[in-house]
């Protein structure tokens, strides 16, 4: 299914403009409609034993939040007004305990969600967002844009991190519109063992065949980590071969109501230097 609706979340993070730029490039490439989303986050005031917070404090907090939203919307409008694609903005009000849920809900009405790499501790939304919760719960592919900025291309030379798992298969299917447009696609398998229930006789060959039947120019590369971290093996190979997009499955588990990403997934997201498309 082609991308026809792309949703990009925008905030006052320094890399926010690069995030919108990435979304606009993809919207142009896929003739998609682009929606810029700003979350209007209002503080949730806890009730205390003595009856709560004074009204003037609540009003001041809400006024500050409203002014911050207005500034963010103005910045996003200036970026979207470049008119390189059909675009609109959306403002979604939520309290500061429901940020992830609000973003995941909006993402369900798009074909692709574009977010920024996590920046823990930053005052912008990207510093408070639980990326794993959104990826695991939105039901849509998520393109994460690195804080380091963008390269000249996105999706020209794609690497698929393939482990024959369900999440990786989902990611390949969700990335197919990009894979079909790429100049080259490399299926990268690391420490893969030939098993009937997993990779098959030749690791990576079956998914390579599927991609070829979609008209994708594809090669399969099998690597041994030789004891190194798998995330480092993937990222180093991508750097050496000038890849500009990584497609991978998101693996994790739920601790009560919070999602925790697996080790390799988290390592790649922490160290990414090119956009990463993830699905769960």
Per-residue pLDDT of 166-201, as tens digits, reads 999 999 999 999 999 999 999 999 988 776 667 778
Task: Answer yes or no: do 202 and 126 share one domain.
Answer: no
Q: Could you tell me the residue range of the domain that residue 103 belongs to?
A: 5-145
Confidence of residue 256 (pLDDT cuts 50, 70, 90): very low
Four-point Cα dihedral 251, 279, 8, 59, nearest 10: -40
Task: Answer yes or no: do 9 and 141 share one domain.
Answer: yes
Task: Answer yes or no: do 228 and 252 share one domain.
Answer: yes
Task: Answer yes or no: do 171 and 116 share one domain.
Answer: no
Confidence of residue 133 (pLDDT cuts 50, 70, 90): confident
46-58 mean pLDDT: 64
* % pLDDT > 70, the chain: 88
- Which residue, of 145, 171, 186, is where some domain finishes? 145
The CA-CA-CA angle for residues 60, 94, 265, to 5°, reads 125
User: Can you give the pTM of this predicted structure?
Assistant: 0.89
What are the residues whose beta carbons fall under 8 Å from the beta carbon of 69, sequence distance 6 or more? Answer: 38, 40, 41, 91
Beta bridge partners of 186: 159, 219
Measured CA to CA in angstroms, residue 242 lies from 217, 235, 251, 274 at distances of: 16, 10, 25, 10
CATH number at residue 50: 3.40.50.620
Q: Do 268 and 231 meet the contact criterion of CB atoms below 8 Å apart?
A: yes
Task: Answer yes or no: do 104 and 35 share one domain.
Answer: yes
194-221 mean pLDDT: 89
The answer to whether position 152 is within a domain reads no
Task: Answer yes or no: do 217 and 238 share one domain.
Answer: yes
């Amino acid at each position: 299914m082609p991308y026809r609706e792309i949703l990009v979340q925008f905030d006052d993070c320094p890399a926010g403009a690069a995030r919108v730029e990435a979304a606009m490039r993809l919207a142009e490439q896929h003739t998609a409609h682009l929606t810029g989303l700003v979350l209007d986050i209002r503080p949730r005031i806890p009730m205390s034993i003595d009856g709560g917070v004074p009204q003037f404090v609540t009003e001041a907090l809400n006024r500050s939040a409203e002014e911050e939203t207005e500034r963010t919307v103005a910045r996003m409008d200036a970026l979207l007004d470049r008119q390189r694609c059909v675009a609109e903005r959306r403002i979604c009000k939520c309290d500061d305990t429901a940020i992830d849920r609000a973003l995941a809900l909006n993402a369900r009405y798009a074909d692709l969600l574009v977010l920024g790499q996590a920046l823990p501790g930053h005052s912008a939304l990207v510093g408070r967002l639980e990326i794993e919760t959104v990826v695991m719960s939105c039901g849509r592919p998520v393109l994460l844009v690195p804080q380091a900025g963008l390269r000249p291309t996105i999706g020209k030379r794609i690497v698929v991190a393939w482990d024959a798992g369900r999440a990786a298969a989902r990611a390949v299917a969700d990335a197919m519109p990009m894979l079909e447009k790429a100049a080259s696609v490399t299926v990268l398998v690391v420490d893969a063992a030939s098993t009937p229930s997993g990779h098959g006789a030749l690791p990576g060959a079956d998914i390579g065949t599927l991609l070829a039947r979609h008209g994708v120019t594809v090669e399969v590369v099998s690597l041994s980590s030789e004891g190194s971290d798998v995330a480092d093996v993937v990222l180093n190979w991508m750097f050496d071969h000038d890849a500009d997009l990584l497609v991978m499955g998101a693996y994790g588990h739920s601790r009560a109501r919070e999602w925790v990403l697996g080790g390799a997934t988290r390592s790649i997201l922490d160290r990414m230097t090119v956009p990463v498309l993830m699905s769960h």
